[in-house]
Structure 1
Amino acid sequence: MTLTLDHLVVLADDLQQAVDQYIARGFVVTPGGTHADGLTHNALIVFGDSTYLELIAFLDAADTRDNVWGWRQYGGKGGGLIDYCLVTDDLEQAVAGFKQRGLPVGNPTAGGRKRPDGMELRWRSARFWQAGRELPFLIEDITPRELRVPPSIPHPNGVTGMHELLIAVADLPRLSRTFSTLLDCATPASQPHRRYDATATSFQLGRHVLTLAAPASKASPLQQRLETLGLGPAAVTLTSANGASTAGRSVTQTWFGSALGSTDRG
């Protein structure tokens, strides 16, 4: 059984407006289609490392119905990172293993999306029972993944993939133990994260890094995140072939409710 980072979910109030904004920032955006529940539609920003950003919006802002992920409550707040997904080649085995290890995960359920060209995509997903979105949801493709995730087209801004996902948490020791169980690995030592005035623990998942970060003081930007939007993905580091740093990598941070901005990572 494999488990890798699949995509990050970026919630928008208006999908076309979000698409236009990301195109203006130098991304190539591919229309995704309408989900099987009839509540949401999406567009994809696919990277060379096979991950992607899913831009998603509810079709009818006046409709009070929510999807199974509970994302509607975060509408009207400017848009941004709201969830993240890991892909596996055997969801039944993954869920059974997580249950055996004591993790609170639900059974697989059917999902799908209809692409603009009429192609029907099918998958199964599972989610962990949790108050926030610290833990990912899981997906296994029924139709081939390459139908769900189109080939990457070079982005004019030079972004090539994802490096690190920062996840805002309140109880770092507890979540670190949970992630160790989830990923079946030892618990790394926590370290100061000076950029966010936080204490953090980082886990390697294939070529990507998942970092759990808890605010070290009330002045931490993560503290505001926790108070206003709760627990979950807060920022992503995107790799770029055009980076000016000594490592050849630029850093792009995207926060829920704020625009993309770029800095260099030395």
Structure 2
Amino acid sequence: MAGLSISSYSFDHVILLLDTADFENPPEWLSKNFTIIEGGTHAGGSSRNKLIVFPDGTYIELINWISEPKEFFDWANKPPGLIDFALTTPTSVHDTFDEVTARLEADGGSGDGGLGVKYKLPLAGGRKRKDGQHVQWHVTKPVLASDSDAAPNLPVPLDKFFPTGRLDTPFFCHDVTERALRVPYAEKHISETHPCGARGIVSVEVVVPEEKIDSYIRLYGSVLGVEANVHGGYRYSPTTSVSFLLSTPNADEPAMKALRGRVGVEVRAPRDQDDEAWVRERGVGIREVRIFAEAKGEDEVDEAPLDSEGVGASLVLVKEPAGFWQDGPR
């Protein structure tokens, strides 16, 4: 993997909003693929969660509203499905804020690609687990401008590209209490018993308007502190895409360790009518999450969404034989 620029930042978790019926009785595409544990109730009392924890130290958060989500107002208008994702870093919450802010403000403030993105000072958050233990963290969320003066490259009209509000930039999550209290990835009966064999998050895809991809490349480079890896087809519709490579929270997880140089965020333009419909209905932002699993007793790669339609179609399981990519794809 010599020559690849890999950020020290990593995925923390992906947020999947469920309606009450699916939260209380998860559909088969969730229950038959994953071990799901109880999370608890968030501070403020308007939401609750369940977790799908992976041995790479990441997780999928299943979230549901108990009442009007005042403390999560930026997610309040989103329909069920993928709504956001969080990153974490090996540095402190305040050091990370300073680092990201400096990059966004570089070159006269153009580090955000003209999209009007800055980050708020870190805010305290938490929840009470079902066992009574209190989990605490800090979140650092983006401030997103919505006027042309502050964001000259913002895709407009807003009601076309952000019909439920802007969620085109990830936030950061840093633990105050021990990470293992929030993300029990070392407990094998939780993280290593997924029926589908999942080991961790390979990537998330963020879909943006093709004519604004240069602005988003600049923005994500500043947020992640790493240069983009250009894919074949960049600037040639309909395959315009770049990726930003990340680390993993648990760098010792064997299966994910072998994927170093492939884990990351892909920023791409819409490829088909389904993508166009996604942006029209949900807005610019996270479109898909890809989850890695080792293929046992097989010698070929298999990729398939967890469901044929709806929410489950945006989660893709990638099964590969052990060592398939060790010396490059065969």
Does the alignment reach a TM-score above 0.5? yes
Cα distance between partner residues in 2 of 1:191 and 1:176: 15
**CA drift at 1:157:** 1.6
Cα distance between partner residues in 1 of 2:296 and 2:201: 13
Aligned with residue 10 of structure 1, among 11, 16, 23: 16
Partner of 2:31: 24
- The letter for the 2-side match of 1:162 is I
Cα distance between partner residues in 2 of 1:221 and 1:244: 34
Cα distance between partner residues in 1 of 2:25 and 2:268: 27
Superposition RMSD on alpha carbons, in Å?
Answer: 2.8
Confirm or deny: 8 A CA contact 1:8 1:52 kept in the other structure.
Answer: yes
Give the unaligned 5+ runs of structure 2: 1-6, 106-111, 113-117, 145-164, 186-190, 248-259, 321-328
Partner of 1:158: 197
Partner of 1:97: 99
Aligned with residue 70 of structure 2, among 66, 71, 74: 66
**CA drift at 1:32:** 0.1
- Residue aligned with 2:13, SS: strand
Could you list the per-position Cα deviations for residues 139-188 of structure 1 after superposition, in whole angstroms to 9, with x for gaps in the alignment?
Answer: 11000000001231321122221112111112211111111122222333
**CA drift at 1:232:** 1.1
Cα distance between partner residues in 2 of 1:264 and 1:220: 26
State whether structure 2 residue 223 is matched by structure 1 residue 168.
Answer: no
**Aligned pair in 2 of structure 1 residues 56, 256: CA closer, same or farther (>3 Å)?**
farther
Cα distance between partner residues in 2 of 1:160 and 1:191: 28
**CA drift at 1:220:** 3.5
1:1-266 aligned within 5 A: 2-14=8-20, 16-17=23-24, 19-60=26-67, 63=68, 65-75=69-79, 79-88=80-89, 89-101=91-103, 102=105, 104-130=118-144, 132-151=166-185, 152-170=191-209, 171-192=212-233, 197-206=238-247, 207=260, 208-215=263-270, 219-242=272-295, 246=299, 248=301, 250-252=303-305, 257-260=310-313
Query: Which structure has greater helix proportion?
Result: 2
Confirm or deny: 8 A CA contact 2:29 2:307 kept in the other structure.
Answer: no
Cα distance between partner residues in 2 of 1:36 and 1:160: 29
Query: Which structure has greater strand proportion?
Result: 1
Identity among equivalent pairs (%): 27
- Residue aligned with 1:225, SS: helix
Confirm or deny: 8 A CA contact 1:83 1:133 kept in the other structure.
Answer: yes
Cα distance between partner residues in 2 of 1:254 and 1:66: 31
Could you list the per-position Cα deviations for residues 120-155 of structure 1 after superposition, in whole angstroms to 9, with x for gaps in the alignment?
Answer: 011111111236222211011000000001231321
**Aligned pair in 2 of structure 1 residues 253, 183: CA closer, same or farther (>3 Å)?**
farther
Confirm or deny: 8 A CA contact 1:80 1:255 kept in the other structure.
Answer: no
- The letter for the 1-side match of 2:266 is T
Could you list the per-position Cα deviations for residues 43-68 of structure 1 after superposition, in whole angstroms to 9, with x for gaps in the alignment?
Answer: 000112111100001013xx3x4333
- The letter for the 2-side match of 1:233 is I
Cα distance between partner residues in 1 of 2:269 and 2:309: 16
Cα distance between partner residues in 1 of 2:308 and 2:72: 23
- The letter for the 2-side match of 1:56 is I
Larger relative contact order (Cα-Cα within 8 Å, sequence gap ≥ 6): 2
**CA drift at 1:19:** 3.1
**CA drift at 1:190:** 4.7
**CA drift at 1:252:** 3.9
Cα distance between partner residues in 1 of 2:290 and 2:85: 14
Could you list the per-position Cα deviations for residues 96-142 of structure 1 after superposition, in whole angstroms to 9, with x for gaps in the alignment?
Answer: 12222225111001000100011001111111123622221101100
- Residue aligned with 2:275, SS: helix
- The letter for the 2-side match of 1:180 is G
Give the unaligned 5+ runs of structure 1: none
**Aligned pair in 2 of structure 1 residues 161, 36: CA closer, same or farther (>3 Å)?**
same
Alignment TM-score, normalising by the size of structure 2? 0.69
- Residue aligned with 2:34, SS: coil
- Residue aligned with 2:292, SS: strand
**Aligned pair in 2 of structure 1 residues 106, 234: CA closer, same or farther (>3 Å)?**
same
Partner of 2:147: none
